[in-house]
Structure 1
Amino acid sequence: MLEFRHVCKAYTTPQGSLSVLSGVDLHLGAGESLALMGESGSGKSTLLHLAAGLDLPDQGEVYIGHQSLANLNESGRARIRRNRLGLVFQQFHLVASLNVADNLRLQARLAGREDAAWSTRLLARLELAGRERQYPEQLSGGQQQRLAIGRALASRPALLLADEPTGNLDETTAETVLELLLELVAESGSSLLMVTHSPRVAAPLDRRVILRRGQLLADTARSRLPCA
């Protein structure tokens, strides 16, 4: 579902070139969940942006299914995000002018895959049934994050990318939201790549890898060629 092949990425800074990813190889299968861990500045967000086609590698290739993102222009990558990906962030990024029901259906409508029965089921599972006409500002932080998760999964994406999805919540709420996220991912049949710094959050996922100094450690580690 997601594959990185010897991906390298660097950025230009006033001090010179800064290597962020160095020969990263990663494979995520259909229906599999993977926690990407690492310290702040290790390159986790860069890797997630590359997976979403928001940026392109300097070397190597990123595949969604059998499609290389490097072979697509920006419109093509946006189409992949709309039709095949779901995105959940630490910040909720809900549309303030849309009510709960319309926020939930937004991504599915854009993808042309709105399913009224699935949306109704999601609202119930998210414990937001009866709040359809409320607006984000009327919800608690946990409710807003549950809504953001529902929006991302309403189109039943092939791949869900989650960047510290519980990082903005207190511990009790975070555990509830994480449990719900994993249950809904399983129900929707999506693959999951989750960025987290927390071993507790990572523990329930199928696999865990660590990004350190631009390279992946743990169960995806293998010999790497240096970046040019």
Structure 2
Amino acid sequence: MLEFRQVHKAYATPQGPLTVLDGVDLALDAGASLALMGESGSGKSTLLHLAAGLDLPDAGEVRLAGRALSTLAEPARARLRREALGLVFQQFHLVPSLNVADNLRLQARLAGREEAAWSAELVARLGLAGLEKRYPEQLSGGQQQRLAIGRALAPRPALLLADEPTGNLDETTADEVLGLLLALVHDAGSALLVVTHSPRVAAPLDRCLRLTHGRVDDASSERLDPA
């Protein structure tokens, strides 16, 4: 579903090029889940942007659903994002002028894959029943994040990318949202890549990689203490 082959990425600074990714290899199969851990500034968000085709590598190859992203022009990458990807961020990025129901349906409509029964199931399981006419500002932080997750999963994307999806929530709410995210991803049949600094978030996923000094190492064998 997602593959990085010897991916390199650097950014220009006044002091010279800053290498962020230095020969990254990773693979994520359809329906599997993967946590990418690393400290702030380690390049996790850069890797996520490359996975989504929002940026391109300096060298190496990123393949999404079997397609090399660097061979696609931006309109084609945008179309592939609509068709294959769901995105969940630490900041909720809900549309303030749309109510809960319309925010939830937005991504599915853009992808041309709105399913009324699945949307109704999402509303119920996300704990948003009875709130469909409310606007984002009328929701709690946990409700807003659940809505953001529902919006991303409404079109049943092949791959869900999540950047610190519980980073703005208290511990109890974060645990509830993470459990719900994993259950819904499974039921949608999506693969999942979560970028996080938290062992608590990484622990329930199938595999864990750690990004350090621009390279990834398998961290699945480490003891990930969720406490």
TM-score (norm 1): 0.95
Asked whether 1:75 is paired with 2:61, we answer: no
Secondary structure of the structure 2 residue equivalent to 1:211:
strand
SS of residue matched to 2:12:
strand
Q: Which moved more, 1:153-162 or 1:60-69?
A: 60-69
* Within-5 A mapping of 1:97-136: 97-136=97-136
Instruction: Determine if the alignment matches structure 1 residue 91 to structure 2 residue 91.
Output: yes
Matched, 1:35 2:35: yes
Residues of 2 paired with 1:77 and 1:15: CA distance? 32
Distance (whole Å) between structure 2 residues aligned to residue 212 and residue 25 of structure 1: 13
Q: Structure 1 stretches (4+) deviating beyond 3 angstroms?
A: none
Identity of aligned residues (%): 75
User: In structure 2, the residue corresponding to 1:24 is in which secondary structure?
Assistant: strand
What's the offset of the Cα at 1:218? 1.5
Work out the number of aligned pairs and report it. 220
User: Which residue does the alignment assign to 2:161?
Assistant: 161
Q: Secondary structure at the match of 2:9?
A: strand
Structure 1's unaligned 5+ residue stretches are 221-228
The alpha-carbon deviation at position 205 of structure 1 amounts to: 0.1
Alignment partners' CA distance in 1, 2:70 and 2:129: 41
Secondary structure, counterpart of 1:41 in structure 2: coil
Q: Which amino acid aligns with 1:97?
A: S
- The two structures, once aligned, show a CA RMSD in angstroms of 0.8
Q: Find the residue that maps to 2:92 and give its secondary structure.
A: coil
d(CA) in 2 for partners of 1:16 and 1:176?
A: 44
- The separation in 2 between residues aligned to 1:219 and 1:29, in whole angstroms, is 18
Where does residue 190 of structure 1 map in the other structure? 190
Mapping for residues 42-53 of structure 1, pairs under 5 Å:
42-53=42-53
Deviation of 1:172 (Å) = 0.5
CA distance in 1, matches of 2:105, 2:129: 14
CA-CA distance at 1:66 after TM superposition = 1.1
